[in-house]
Amino acid sequence: MALMTGEQYIESIRRLNLQIYMFGEKIESPVDHPILRPSLNSVRMTYDLAQDPQYEDLMTATSAITGNKINRFCHIHHSTQDLVNKVKMQRLLGQKTASCFQRCVGMDAFNALYSTTFETDRQYKTNYFENFKKFAIATEENDWTVDGAMTDPKGDRSLAPHAQPDADMYLHVVERRPDGIVVRGAKAHQTGIINSHEVIVMPTIAMGPDDKDYAVSFAVPTDAEGIFMIIGRQSCDTRKLEGSEMDVGNSEFGGVEALVVFDNVFVPNDRIFLNGEVEFAGMLVERFAGYHRQSYGGCKVGVGDVLIGAAALAAEYNGVERASAVKDKLIEMVHLNETLFACGIACSAEGKPTPSGNYLIDLLLANVCKQNVTRFPYEIVRLAEDIAGGLMVTAPSEKDLRDPVVGPYVDKYLRGVNAVSTENRLRVLRLIENMSLGTAAVGYRTESMHGAGSPQAQRIMIARQGNIGAKKKLAKAIAHID
Ligand code: SF4
Ligand code: FE
């Protein structure tokens, strides 16, 4: 079963025995929970679109390992066209869900691990590449959604992993056995883990010789014994419990993050991809982060497309769509959004093969891409709020609109142009509210800032890759300086 249908995917997640906690309670049926279900629907879209012939080229690929047709989210990229198609696929998913569809972290982890395990084996004669390939084939053939877990809680940021007063602030090996290892620690902000079949764990920073136990990478099922997931709150999350589809703004789709605890989890030998080779921790971090920074040049652009469309509708429903100031704001939003897309495509087109044969994006351009993502969506949101007007935060609830006493007043006084119903005007404002202040703002705003690394992380990479020395030489040559 190389390609699962959306329905098969939902049922496969239902069968997992996940330990999920929210509001101090264990969630027995996360698949049916009104706060969590929209996030599952977003991942489901990665399966549904792969079944649709019109999206076949973007959503599916030919496995470079088995030659089988697989979902592109399971694919190891083997050309710059693969890298470009990945970004285009993510834009499409952003357009269809207006939220984070979560499945990219696994795809980005596969591609980082494919090349890093190969290079680790070359130096240490280890067996990580074969381990990883076996896992990659199982992922492709089972069409798994895989979480890529990188961010440790990190405790005191001034201290290395081994120097933390609490040794568990970075995930580490606590026991070595003949058949595998036992690990303990946590990973924070885990996008989509509750909707994933497996989790790949990676180190979060480059490490030194004293951090051997922390330089560890592996994959385990998300319902492995000892894994606990504690759901993160999102702004306006409990609105989903009120029963009003309209007030939620985007009732069908959403994203989800959780704090994931690994409390003495056993990892069998053939699921280990790094175990103590500290100098390769940095390579893995850099490559995973690079791929995920490329990803943001697709997914955030797709969500931006929906937000720009919503702002244009709000203007139309207010009767101001022809005002030159409004037109200019929409132009600015498109310009910013397409600049992000241009960065996503550019770092893909400039990709190069690694020694393992898979393709790595241009790291400088991928970091420039993500650095722009830490800024432009904020400006796009600002312009959307500007166009929408204050009603997006002062509009009464759906219940008031439907109330026999005050409903007619709401309907009468909150109407814009006569040809559009008040209900539709309010619907589009709720959607803008959802993306700028509500649950989807996690994915569109704060995740744009901190997801795939906070702005300073990209600036460090830009400093490393920017090659100022070569630029000085250029200036010297032109100015005739010896
Ligand atoms: Fe994918 Fe974007 Fe969500 Fe990352 S933030 S998992 S790239 S949709
Ligand atoms: Fe992310």
Distance CA 251, CA 106 (A): 26
Q: How many other β-carbons are positioned within 10 Å of the β-carbon of residue 103?
A: 28
Distance CA 312, CA 386 (A): 11
Query: C-alpha 320: how far from its chain's center?
Result: 35
The answer to whether the CB of 257 is under 6 A from ligand 1 is no
d(CA 299, ligand 2 centre) in Å: 9
Q: How many other β-carbons are positioned within 10 Å of the β-carbon of residue 176?
A: 11
Q: How many other β-carbons are positioned within 10 Å of the β-carbon of residue 78?
A: 18
Structure tokens at 264: 């003495």
**Residue of 33, 75, 197, 292 marked catalytic:** 292
Element at 65 (helix H, strand E): none
- Please, what is the Cα angle at 93 between 422 and 252, to 5 degrees? 45
Q: Is residue 236 part of a domain?
A: yes
Site to probe by mutation for ligand 1, drawn from 104, 234, 361, 439 as the one with most ligand atoms within 8 Å of Cβ, is 104
pLDDT of residue 212: 97
Q: How many other β-carbons are positioned within 10 Å of the β-carbon of residue 426?
A: 25
Please, where are the H alpha helices in 102-244?
Answer: 104-124, 128-142
pLDDT of residue 398: 98
Q: Whose CA is nearest to atom 1 of ligand 1?
A: 104
The answer to whether the CB of 291 is under 6 A from ligand 1 is no
Site to probe by mutation for ligand 1, drawn from 87, 88, 91, 102 as the one with most ligand atoms within 8 Å of Cβ, is 102
pLDDT of residue 377: 98
**Residue of 46, 139, 145, 191 marked catalytic:** 191
* 160 & 97 share domain: yes
Is 191 annotated in some ligand binding site?
yes
Q: Is residue 482 part of a domain?
A: no
Q: Whose CA is nearest to atom 2 of ligand 1?
A: 299
Domain boundary among 258, 278, 298: 278
The number of residues making up the chain comes to: 482
CB 156 within 8 A of CB 137: no
Domain boundary among 217, 252, 278: 278
CB 195 within 8 A of CB 39: yes
CATH of residue 298: 1.20.140.10
Task: Please state, in angstroms and as integers, the Cα–Cα distance from residue 3 to each residue in 31, 48, 237, 288, 418, following that order.
Answer: 21, 10, 32, 25, 47
Distance CA 226, CA 244 (A): 37
* 317 & 454 share domain: yes
H helices, E strands: number in the chain: 19, 14
Q: Is residue 477 part of a domain?
A: no
Q: Is residue 306 part of a domain?
A: yes
* 210 & 287 share domain: no
The answer to whether the CB of 104 is under 6 A from ligand 1 is yes
- Is 191 among the catalytic positions? yes
The answer to whether the CB of 105 is under 6 A from ligand 1 is yes
pLDDT of residue 1: 59
Element at 21 (helix H, strand E): strand 20-22
The answer to whether the CB of 100 is under 6 A from ligand 1 is yes
Burial of 472 (C-beta count, 10 Å sphere; 0-12/13-18/19+): exposed
* 221 & 117 share domain: yes
CB 222 within 8 A of CB 198: yes
The answer to whether the CB of 299 is under 6 A from ligand 1 is yes
CATH of residue 263: 2.40.110.10
Q: Is residue 203 part of a domain?
A: yes
Mean pLDDT by 10 residues, the chain (482 residues): 93 98 97 98 98 98 96 98 98 98 98 98 98 98 98 97 98 98 98 98 96 98 98 96 97 98 98 98 98 98 98 98 98 98 98 98 98 98 98 98 98 98 98 96 95 96 96 98 94
Domain boundary among 278, 293, 317: 278
Q: Whose CA is nearest to atom 3 of ligand 1?
A: 100
* 12 & 69 share domain: yes
Question: In sequence order, what are the residues at sequence separation of 6 or more whose Cβ sits closer than 8 angstroms to the Cβ of residue 225?
Answer: 265, 266
* 378 & 274 share domain: no
Q: Whose CA is nearest to atom 5 of ligand 1?
A: 100
* 135 & 193 share domain: yes
* 269 & 293 share domain: no
Number of domains in the chain: 2
* 287 & 402 share domain: yes
* 274 & 302 share domain: no
CB 186 within 8 A of CB 260: yes
pTM for this prediction: 0.98
* 230 & 295 share domain: no
Question: Phi and psi (nearest 5°) for 481?
Answer: -105, 125
Ligand nearest to the CA of 298: 1
* 308 & 172 share domain: no
Report the candidate in 169, 265, 261, 263 with the shortest Cα–Cα distance to residue 219: 265
CB 244 within 8 A of CB 398: yes
Q: Is residue 481 part of a domain?
A: no
CB 47 within 8 A of CB 6: yes
Q: Whose CA is nearest to atom 6 of ligand 1?
A: 102
pLDDT of residue 53: 98
Element at 284 (helix H, strand E): helix 279-318
The answer to whether the CB of 439 is under 6 A from ligand 1 is no
CB 132 within 8 A of CB 270: no
pLDDT of residue 2: 87
pLDDT of residue 262: 98
Domain span holding position 26: 6-278
Q: Is residue 474 part of a domain?
A: no
Q: Is residue 473 part of a domain?
A: no
